[in-house]
Structure 1
């Protein structure tokens, strides 16, 4: 979810329960009735994903090279189509040194980019982004992954997992679990792939905004050490117990994050369940609450932030060093 929602929610405003319910109903009704032009991604020609051998430490270099070549082809196709912005982004992704486990430039795009040496990593952190994340807005996710890897050090790997079509912030999809339900099997398969690749390396899921709904839908029985929700609108689950996971579950929210003013409720509207229920930072949810500082919705991985420090400690398994809200 992006900060443009601040046009109607001030960062520190605390609304009454009645006003929150009214506001949610208005937003949902408007989103259902009024088409959102930003929800339609442009049709840009791109090749199908590269055919890859099963991933092992030995085959990783070939996979990275094949995905860079695929990005270069996609860049040429986008340029020929007249989409200079997408072409520029794809040329950057095709540059030497970029490491993609998966790459698909069709539509809004899907990728899984590696930061660090995955073949020898002792720890793996997977960033799961929220709304409005695509190839055309990938810079924000990449910057966060780079900042996190800088805190974790050379023995860890960070993966920016854009493995699903994220919803637009102001759209019906951002208010229901539909996209997360579609994404959860993909995330589960991706984590299983990582566990086969590096069976001794604990995996952590760091889940921002709508990405926390994705992680929650994928959590049951998943072999991960930690799951951290931050900037979450809710997860669709009423409690940590309802997630069905043995992982440590964390939740944090910045003091200036507008998501605090989104109603943490569920409602049936037009035959659809809208909203995600219990606030993950509420005591009733049962998560370990970590300090997230004074940042806003897009600031959790900002260099020098309290939230980045604590997310790095969670990913490293240094749970005794995490500061609590």
Structure 2
């Protein structure tokens, strides 16, 4: 039976919206290249392994990965890996130099911290772009320490992020895989940190899709979504967490132009900063998509206060 005249415009609208999603997400950012370089296998630990044991083994693994990259003539990757060691002082709970890579770094002292922020990055975050991600984590840690010395930040590159210029960034497949890694990590972090430490998830861009799919325990008190394309949920109440859910977006963030629709498995639906979503709004200032953790910004101050439990919502909506 031929399609009706009324169904043709509907299909056209769906096609156009899907195209707009792809254009809005893909156009503003270029993909980062991640060379295929040799690297040792990741170190596997028993559940009883302490944080210092993990730090030492992963730092050695990172050094070996840098050596292997240099021997293979991958000079740029080797230099980036050496930079990650921070002169032998970096603390990695996990590290895998294979492929685009994974790394989970601690800034601060988990043993004494009673406020811990876990940063979950978005697309194109790899070992090749790690210093950009780490710079934001360091800015947050310095902001927290200035007000509350018993705080720490975990830079969690614990999943294979999608490429910005790829179809994977339009679906939740990578986010679902990331959530399956993040949930058990949060449980391990609970055992490695001090008794009673409050955990906050700070989730940027595609990372907000990961967080929105992660089942969190009661130790996660707050989840902040920023620069988010949507979560796949219609409301904050649908997320698998008992944490307070926050949302913010800088006025110059291009992601505001992404259509908040979901067509089949493409797109992420409702806008988290829309009051109808039900998140607590936080002030994000005038920054762009990559500016949320820049020193001196309104957004960094708001996120730090969320971690410390000193921020009130800027609107009356609640998760």
TM-score by length of 2: 0.87
SS of structure 1 residue aligned to 2:136 = helix
Aligned: 1:179 with 2:170: no
Shift of 1:219: 3.6
Contact 2:21–2:258 at 8 Å: present in 1 too? no
Q: CA RMSD in A?
A: 2.5
Distance 1:20 1:256 in 2: 27
Return the match for 2:202 from 185, 201, 206. 206
Task: Identify the residue that residue 51 of structure 1 maps to in structure 2.
Answer: 44
Return the match for 1:86 from 65, 77, 84. 77
Task: Identify the residue that residue 151 of structure 2 maps to in structure 1.
Answer: 156
Return the match for 1:315 from 283, 307, 311. 307
Shift of 1:51: 3.5
Contact 1:216–1:243 at 8 Å: present in 2 too? yes
Count of aligned positions: 297
Contact 2:55–2:91 at 8 Å: present in 1 too? yes
Shift of 1:257: 0.2
Distance 1:83 1:66 in 2: 23
Task: Identify the residue that residue 265 of structure 1 maps to in structure 2.
Answer: 261
Shift of 1:70: 0.3
Task: Identify the residue that residue 25 of structure 1 maps to in structure 2.
Answer: 19
Distance 2:33 2:78 in 1: 19
Shift of 1:20: 10
Shift of 1:323: 5.0
Show structure 1 runs of 4+ deviating over 6 A: 18-21
Cα deviation 1:287-308 (Å, max 9, x = unaligned): 0010100000000001000000
Cα deviation 1:103-144 (Å, max 9, x = unaligned): 111101101100001111111100000001000001111000
Contact 2:232–2:267 at 8 Å: present in 1 too? yes
Return the match for 2:162 from 167, 187, 191. 167
Shift of 1:274: 0.2
SS of structure 2 residue aligned to 1:259 = helix
Aligned ranges 1:74-223 → 2 under 5 Å: 74-94=65-85, 95-153=87-145, 154-198=149-193, 199-219=195-215, 223=219
Shift of 1:216: 0.3
Return the match for 2:229 from 230, 233, 247. 233
SS of structure 2 residue aligned to 1:304 = coil
Distance 2:123 2:218 in 1: 23
Return the match for 2:293 from 301, 307, 323. 301
SS of structure 2 residue aligned to 1:227 = strand
Distance 1:278 1:27 in 2: 13
Shift of 1:210: 0.1
Shift of 1:93: 2.2
CA 1:121/1:63 → structure 2, altered by over 3 Å: closer, same or farther? same
CA 1:310/1:39 → structure 2, altered by over 3 Å: closer, same or farther? closer
Unmatched runs of 5 consecutive residues or more in structure 2: 1-11
Distance 2:163 2:190 in 1: 31
- Bigger drift between 194-203 and 19-28 goes to 19-28
Task: Identify the residue that residue 244 of structure 1 maps to in structure 2.
Answer: 240
Contact 1:230–1:252 at 8 Å: present in 2 too? yes
Cα deviation 1:25-45 (Å, max 9, x = unaligned): 26649x9xxxxx958842210
TM-score by length of 1: 0.85
SS of structure 2 residue aligned to 1:203 = strand
Shift of 1:98: 0.3
